């Protein structure tokens, strides 16, 4: 007995459903065919085949007293990082600076809370550093907070890659290309000697795009010159020992001439009749004026600033479209800029440290 035939309505539904599925399948297949296959990432460019890099390796080996084959191997294994070269270029001409916006990046709740915890955890080490080196605890705390948020952001670039890129392929369009490239060649040499002396793998350490390392973001030459074993365990570790970091930052400032007890800056106003702002700003951040010569050019000081016995500089901090801010920087303000050659950086470090100190002391 033959099975009953489906009704015409059911038959139509079945055919239409099949056709719909067929059309959908064809459309899916077409879209898959039209979509380009994902492109493979370009293979990393390493320096093992670059004659200039290998010649530099031989030069570094001779200068630093290192085995030439060892230096060639590590520089040859370094990867070229075009992004690092781009990051070295200065901001385009005419880019406005803004102290208020810059300050807000660092004097903010997350960093203040982290600084308060750091100070509480390392109160004894901070007090010892201040006593031994004469550098205020607030300044040490300010530097570490601005540099790495108390060790939370120490950099993700392999140091060997960053330094080799900048030593071999520093961007020629930089206004100080020759001097900056030589600086990074020297730093690459210091880095290789440092890692060999401390038994560290040159391929493993990570830092900033400029090759700065650890909680205080020391360049290799600074690590070699200023880092100290402040926790007394027989080795210097700026990646994992906050106590070594505290002592090393204090030692850095002392070595650059920090004067205990001297303020970093004073408030300043202007006498519109005598003001010669161009002359006051000409030395930039280098203290060049006595209190008397400062006043003679129209800079007005009050209170303790009038008793200052060292030199002063007029520091200008632009605020975008708003009027600029000004202060009278002392020799100690200039010392802070030896960590980073920027008056904006220096004042952010100073103000962050003082703000954290106020929280710690309940002020």
Task: Report d(CA 241, CA 229) in Å as an integer.
Answer: 9
Known active-site residue 130: no
**Cβ contact 137:130 at 8 Å:** yes
Beta bridge partners of 158: 206
| Identified catalytic residue from 132, 147, 173, 292 | 147
In this structure, what token pair is assigned to residue 216? 């205080």
- Residue by residue, DSSP assigns 181-241 as HHHHHHHHHHHHHHHHHTT--TTT-EE-TT--BTTTTB-HHHHHHH---TT-SSS--TTT-
Beta strands in the chain (DSSP E): 157-158, 206-207, 265-266, 269-270, 299-300, 313-319, 322-329
With CA atoms as reference, report the closest residue to 173 among 93, 86, 95, 97: 86
- Residue by residue, DSSP assigns 75-116 as HHTPBP-HHHHHHTSPPPTTPPPBHHHHHHHHSSHHHHHHHH
Catalytic residues: 147
């Amino acid at each position: 007995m033959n099975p009953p035939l489906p009704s015409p309505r059911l038959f139509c539904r079945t055919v239409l459903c099949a056709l719909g599925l067929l059309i959908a399948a064809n459309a899916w297949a077409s879209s898959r065919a039209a979509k380009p296959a994902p492109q493979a990432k370009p293979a990393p460019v390493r320096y093992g085949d670059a004659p200039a890099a290998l010649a530099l390796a031989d030069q570094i080996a001779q200068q630093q007293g290192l085995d030439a084959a060892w230096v060639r191997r590590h520089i040859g294994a370094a990867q070229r990082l075009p992004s690092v070269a781009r990051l070295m270029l200065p901001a385009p001409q005419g880019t406005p600076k803004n102290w208020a916006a810059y300050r807000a990046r660092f004097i903010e709740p997350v960093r203040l809370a982290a600084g308060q915890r750091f100070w509480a955890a390392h109160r004894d080490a901070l007090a010892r550093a201040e006593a031994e080196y004469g550098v205020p605890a607030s300044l040490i705390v300010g530097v570490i907070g601005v540099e790495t948020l108390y060790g939370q952001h120490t950099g993700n670039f392999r140091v060997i890659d960053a330094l080799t890129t900048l030593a071999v392929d520093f961007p020629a369009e930089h206004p100080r290309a020759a001097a900056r490239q030589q600086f990074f060649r020297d730093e690459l040499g210091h880095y290789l000697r440092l890692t060999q002396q401390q038994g560290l793998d040159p391929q493993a350490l990570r830092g900033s795009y400029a090759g700065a390392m650890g909680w205080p973001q020391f360049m290799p030459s600074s690590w070699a010159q200023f880092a100290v074993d402040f926790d007394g365990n027989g080795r210097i570790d700026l990646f994992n020992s906050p106590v070594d970091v505290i002592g090393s930052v204090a030692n850095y400032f002392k070595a650059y001439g920090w004067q205990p007890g001297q303020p970093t800056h004073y408030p300043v106003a202007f006498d519109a009749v005598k003001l010669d702002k161009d002359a006051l700003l000409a030395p930039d951040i280098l203290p060049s004026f006595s209190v008397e010569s400062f006043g003679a050019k129209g800079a007005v000081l009050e209170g303790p600033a009038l008793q200052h016995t060292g030199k002063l500089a007029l520091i200008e901090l632009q605020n975008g479209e708003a009027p600029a801010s000004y202060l009278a920087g002392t020799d100690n303000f200039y010392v802070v800029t030896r960590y980073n050659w920027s008056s904006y950086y220096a004042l952010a470090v100073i103000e962050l440290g003082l703000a954290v100190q106020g929280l710690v002391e309940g002020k």
